[in-house]
A and B are shown apart, each in its own frame.
Chain A
Amino acid sequence: MQVELLEVRQHMAQFPPFEQLSDDLLDALAGQVEVGYFQAETDIYRHGDAVEYLHYIRSGAIDLYRRNGDLYNRLSEGDIFGQFDLLRDRRVRFPARAIEDTLIYFIPLATFQRLCEADDNFADFVEVERPRLESTVDQQRKGHEMLVTRVRKLASRAPVMVESDATVQEAAQRMGEHNASSVLVLAAPQTPDDSHAFTHADGQLRRMVGILTDHDLRDRVLAEGRPTSTTVGELIDERPITIQSDESVYEAMLRMLRNNIHHLPILHRRRPVGVLHLSDIVRHETNSSLYLVDNVFRQANVEGLAALKSDVRAAFVRMVNEDDNSQMVGSSLSSIGRAFTRRLLELAEEELGPPPVPYCFMALGSMARNEQSIVTDQDNALVLDDSFDSEQHDAYFLTLAQRVSDGLAACGYSYCKGDVMATNSRWRQPLRVWQQYFRDWIDDPSAERLLHSSIFFDLDSVYGDEAFVERLQDLVAERASQRPHFLAAMARNALNRTPPLGFFRTFVMEKDGEQNNTINLKRRGTAPLVDLIRVHALACGSRAQNSFDRLEDINKTRLLAGHSGERIRYALEFIAMVRIRHQVIDIQEEREPDNNIEPENVSDNERHNLKDAFQVLSNAQKFLKFRYPMPSQKR
């Protein structure tokens, strides 16, 4: 007789890659597990040992070491290790040592192979040829996530349950305590062999007989004038409509629509494990509407524009909840930012009159790359016609720059701390001066000098005579690739910010073994990736500004070996999305969004994937250092 090893399977079902397995595969897996205990400070295996199992940490924590003794990874409850060795030569590459008393589940090779064959998601997760980071990003791009997402992924908390002889008042109190809009109703089984019975946490046999929602409390208690002592059992319909935890979200939606219900109890076999609300599904469904840009151009003054600040945040939250990728979110936010800038320039020109000489208002940094986030400051400059005469014309352009800069600040784009704004006279110059700036930076570089000017190598026109900025883009594209000193200096700056090793429990794990409480994902992730992509893009003469476009140009050359270009793309996409998602969480919880994430708010899946992404960045930085060495001094 097949016995469910509930304790074993329920634990594994919480963690990737097991969380995606069907219930049958999970049951079969739990039945094949071998268990072993390791006291703290003992070896689990040594370098070169044969590997015959996938290892799953049931409790405790372990360290994996490189051969030179450096820490390679620190893992804890729910993590797996040994999968790469299993797929390679079945010899231990990174020795493992328990750092706490640790219980390991050993999954035999044959079971591991069967899982790889039976479940593509599982295979993708563990396969070395297709690291999980890629499969995750690909999966995010799949349009119909609803068809593959299992209902249990949306069951974020245990159901609130009451007995059928509880009063509606007690039920309402329970709902209030748990801030739930429904409770599941339990009763004793009608017969001892009731096929709907399950064993409740207290060991008693129970069956779920119905669901009581806040609508019922309104419509059937208050509206019909029933006393608060009415029992829950009198109100509910027996035989509630339910869904099994491994069915798809799509199926759940159909069931709700067909039956015209908003709450759907989720069961694992007969045991209730959660309640799905229609709004949980609606989040997958809503359509994007970028009417915001249109609205920006209809505003008659700065106050009107500033009032749209909250709409920008709402649009951002909407996009992310619709599962847009970071490129879509980044380019949408950049479009919105450009719209604000343009409208402010139009308003300023209306007030100040037409410009005395042609100009181009230039965006720098993230807006130029079309990678703007919700947390951003303004980086801009003015490129003026060469007929510009400071005495005669600068007062106009200074006022223009101030109007835009102050207006942007009012709309939520804070002033640039480095003073890279058109209000700074250095960055309000005719084209020939700009050309001289760029020639100087490229021909006579030093890392220190470029440290503050690298932002100018992401540039794009926003308003005015685009040709001015195109000339600058051409100059950079043609000249930079010919200057090894310049590339080496840019490369050196791109190595200033490094990623952490990964996560361990609620800490950020640094390479030197330090643990931190928080991590700035821009500084430690997206920014260094963008920096290193920029160096390669300059080296291959790309005119693109967007990092993903730049990567496409880079991949047409042989600058990067094998799949590393693709890996960098996946890493950037993933880190950018995590950063974006955490900003959405900040907004939804009414905090000011920032670039920091706290590891305790990182889901297991994110944690594993981020670790991989950091590894990609780390490897790409090593390659950058090797690819653009400082040429020996000629003088």
Chain B
Amino acid sequence: MKPLLPRRYPAPPTWADYFTSRREQTRDTALERYFDVGVPAPETPISDVPMLAMDMETTGLDEQRHAIVSIGVVPFDLQRIRLAERRYWIVRPPRPLNERSITFHHITHSEIEQAPDLDDVLDELLAVMAGRIVVVHYRHIERTFLNAAVKARRGEGIHFPVIDTMSLEARLHRQSWWARLRRWLGRPPASIRLPDSRTRYGLPSYQAHHALIDALASAELLQAQIAHRYSRDTPLSEVWS
């Protein structure tokens, strides 16, 4: 598999500025409502930040050629992950799936064929995202796919800050002096995949590959990472990107 290059984002002065300017310029009511709620200030302690764990299943890794098939989200904060407020959507990709062989975990082809277009669930998705910081494991899927999908349907894209549990793991296991020493000694780097990362914090292994379960898994991982490596007072700016 060809590694994906991290995509560049326009670097707005701050997320707050970006949200304000988008709220004023957007012509889409759902986006306007989303940007109107705004983002928590960068200095907010992580324990006060409302978050939303998110995972998507897509038909491939390129947001230009591939599409979203399912989205799972679970609202949470450092204390609790609230499964009662979870949302899960299966959506129909705009292009028919020409390859029958593509298989999705827990989703049948007929479910996909009967599913709505992302456009029909987008307002609901934006409503749960509003005011919450999105938490993902590997940010280059959810953020880029959502941006491309929104742009295709509403004529304008969407950027938003995320906390990426994978890059938090990478900081520890790929960028620390200890990790460099290991590399220098020729040891393989520690895996920062979701299941391996979870194991390091004593979290149970989940069998299912389901957008909702993976979202739950990322939420649990972030709670564990903050408990072990950061503190409840860690400012948001230290962990988001």
Chain A positions within 8 Å of B, measured between CB atoms, are 1, 3, 5-8, 11, 30-40, 42, 58-60, 100-103, 106, 108, 189, 191-194, 197, 199, 201, 203-205
Contacts and interface: CB of A to CB of B under 8 A. Distances in A.
Given A7-B208, A59-B202, A199-B105, A35 B80 contact: yes
8 contacts: A3-B88, A6-B208, A7-B206, A32-B83, A59-B202, A197-B108, A199-B106, A203-B105
Contacts of B223: 36-37
B203 A59 contact: yes
A599 B81 CA distance: 34
B209 to A, nearest CB: 7
Nearest to A61: B202
Interface stretch (B25-33, B60-68, B134-142, B210-218): B210-218
B196 to A, nearest CB: 15
A290 to B, nearest CB: 49
Contacts of B113: 192
B86 A3 contact: yes
Nearest to A1: B88
A106 B76 CA distance: 13
B98 interface: no
A201 B207 contact: yes
A39 B228 contact: yes
B11 interface: no
B14 interface: no
- Give the top 4 A-B pairs by smallest Cβ distance, nearest first: A193-B110, A101-B202, A192-B109, A37-B223
Contacts of A199: 105-106
Nearest to A40: B202
Interface string B186-229: 00000000000000011110111110110010011001100110
A31 B84 contact: yes
A100 B82 contact: no
A7 B72 CA distance: 15
Contacts of B82: 34
A35 B224 contact: no
Given A7-B206, A59-B204, A35 B216 contact: yes
Contact of B227 (A5, A35, A42, A193): A42
Nearest to A58: B204
A30 B83 contact: yes
B83 A31 contact: yes
A30 to B, nearest CB: 7
Given A103-B203, A203-B209, 16 more contacts: A1-B88, A1-B89, A3-B212, A5-B213, A7-B206, A7-B208, A7-B213, A8-B83, A33-B84, A35-B76, A35-B220, A36-B81, A37-B203, A101-B224, A189-B108, A205-B103
A441 B105 CA distance: 76
A58 B204 CA distance: 8
B39 to A, nearest CB: 25
A36 B220 CA distance: 7
Contacts of A30: 83
User: B76, B86, B89, B204: which has the most chain A beta carbons within 10 Å?
Assistant: B204
A37 B222 CA distance: 9
B213 A6 contact: yes
Contacts of B79: 36
A3 B70 CA distance: 12
B103 A33 contact: no
A60 B202 contact: yes
A193 B110 CA distance: 5
User: A36, A100, A194: which has the most chain B beta carbons within 10 Å?
Assistant: A36
Interface in B122-139: none
A5 B202 CA distance: 21
A42 B204 CA distance: 19
B80 to A, nearest CB: 4
B202 A100 contact: yes
Contacts of A197: 108
User: B81, B202, B207, B220: which has the most chain A beta carbons within 10 Å?
Assistant: B202
A334 B53 CA distance: 64
Contact of A204 (B86, B103, B201, B224): B103
Contacts of B89: 1
A192 B110 contact: yes
B224 A39 contact: yes
A37 B110 contact: no
A542 to B, nearest CB: 53
A40 B224 CA distance: 11
Contacts of A204: 103
Contacts of B110: 191-193
B81 A35 contact: yes
A305 B68 CA distance: 78
Interface string B66-96: 0000001000100111111010110000000
Given A103-B220, A203-B103, A7 B207 contact: yes
A361 B75 CA distance: 76
Nearest to A10: B207
B83 to A, nearest CB: 5
A35 B221 CA distance: 11
A59 B201 CA distance: 11
A101 B201 contact: yes
Contacts of A35: 76, 80-81, 83, 216, 219-220
A6 B211 CA distance: 12
Contacts of A36: 79-81, 223
Given A5-B83, A103-B220, A39 B105 contact: no
A58 B79 CA distance: 16
A191 B113 CA distance: 13
A59 B219 CA distance: 16
A204 B72 CA distance: 20
Given A59-B204, A101-B224, A103-B203, A192 B83 contact: no
A6 B210 contact: yes
A203 B203 CA distance: 22
A5 B212 contact: yes
B105 A106 contact: no
B84 A34 contact: yes
Contacts of A203: 103, 105, 209
A349 B7 CA distance: 102
Given A1-B88, A203-B103, A33 B83 contact: yes
A588 B209 CA distance: 41
A58 B88 CA distance: 23
A60 B202 CA distance: 7
User: A3, A60, A199: which has the most chain B beta carbons within 10 Å?
Assistant: A3
A70 B84 CA distance: 37
Contacts of A1: 88-89
A32 B216 contact: no
B227 to A, nearest CB: 4
Contacts of B106: 199
A107 to B, nearest CB: 11
Interface string B99-111: 0000101101111
Contacts of A3: 72, 86, 88, 212
A35 B81 CA distance: 5
A3 B73 CA distance: 12
A436 B67 CA distance: 96
B80 A205 contact: no
B166 to A, nearest CB: 18
Contact of B84 (A32, A38, A193): A32
Contacts of A37: 201, 203, 220, 223-224, 227
Contacts of A11: 204
A280 B219 CA distance: 43
